Structure 1
Amino acid sequence: GTASVAVAVAVLGAGFANQTEVKAAESRSVSQGSVSLELYDKLSDENDILREKQDEYLTKIDGLDKENKEYASQLAKNQKEREELELEYLRKSDKEYKEHQQYRQEQEERQKNQEQLERKYQREVEKRYQEQLQKQQQLETEKQISEASRKSLSRDLEASRAAKKELEAKHQKLEADHQALEAKHQKLAEEHQVSETSRKGLSRDLEASRAAKKELEAKHQKLEADHQALEAKHQKLAEEHQVFRD
């Protein structure tokens, strides 16, 4: 731009110099009478026109030179803005890279912590499962033992019931015999028809019967207490068995 303007100025200057030389030569020729006045006027007019054009070109050159300076200033300004934008881009890129690296590290740390928590949770679940399984096995064993105890107690209870019935039958028979002896003793005492020996023998039989009755009643009471204890134990075991079954 600047070089072109300089060339244009040089060309115009050379043209102006040539025109001046021609005019001077023409002036000498006119003064010497070698050319006509008409030709001289024509050349003078053309020279004036050329001067006007030269002024126009110089004005345009000044405008172009001004525009060129403005363009150079804008170019420098754009260059500065471009450098500032590049610097800002580099700063932003560096910041984003650092933020990305930090996010990646945090993500890896979160992943690591998550895996540790999952392994811990898995161990806890396995531990609880084993404890529950062991407890279930223990309950099954206790249930089997309880079932065997219940069956054994049921047999003991049935035997106790049978013994109770047998003892009650003996007690009833002994009670009947005792009442018969009492009646017979009463009858003999009232009628006074037996001898002293017979009366004493009958008295001994009556005392023995009374002692046997007391002994049988004591055994009956003990058997009744044992039977009640067996009944209570059987009831408790039945309830525990029902709980295991549920």
Structure 2
Amino acid sequence: MNTRSGVLLTALLVGSGLATDPPKVTRVGEVSVVVTRISVPMLGDRDMVVGTGSFRPGSDAGGPLRSQDQCFVAEMDDGQAAPTGQPPGAASPAPGLSLDAGDPLTLRLGTQVYATLPRRQQGQVISYATDMPNPLKAPPAGLVLDIPGAAGGFPAMKDRALPTAALLRLTAPAAGDPVTPQTAFQWANPSNDPATQVMLSALDEERGLALTCLAVDDGAFSLPAATAADLKARGWGEGLLTTYGRMATRTYQQGDARLTLNSIVMQVNTGF
């Protein structure tokens, strides 16, 4: 088909109502499966797996995730991080803005149920989470999510595939090496997926500062110049890398409802 024919066909489709823009998003949902590997000196590694979900009215102007390098610096307040920069999507839903999505959400592999996320309600706030302390095994590849849906809430969705994420094989800095404004991070197993982000966190306890970075999953990352300058201005000396991992995201839209599914794998170091 030549260009002129394509333009004419598009005009005909628009005029007949067959070609339309996607509906405006007015309902958003997010379901995450989080694997946290905790390394304890002398005791080894322990994996913890949880599933969480939330649904709310509103728009999602950002649409599907496209990763980019960015960092956030926080000041510690009595041992807690008080962020001076906030990553996109970090805000929690305000009370009264939750949507019911039915009960329960189901993660399964074929016909075998991997986990259920029962509905939990406190006042007007509805959330979903796997039962604790029942331990879950590491999530297998090929999981799909079923949402039963609820009248006046979030619609039913079925067979929505969960993305997969592998533990980050960090090669630099080496274990025990400090994190400085000049540190170059490298990992051996990049996904090169634009919908996957690498997450890095470090602490400088002496200065009471916390650093969190989101990076493109291409195998290498250095702090943006503005972040390095900010750390130097705040007196950041030698920080400790406390957490690293990756988040793979997949987004679906059904009518005016957008669903985001996350697979998150994190390594937490409690000491070296």
**TM class, shorter-chain normalised?**
under 0.3
Greater fraction of residues in helix: 1
Structure number with greater CO (CA < 8 Å, separation at least 6) is: 2
TM-score by length of 2: 0.14
Q: Greater share of strand residues, 1 or 2?
A: 2
Q: TM-score, normalization: structure 1?
A: 0.15
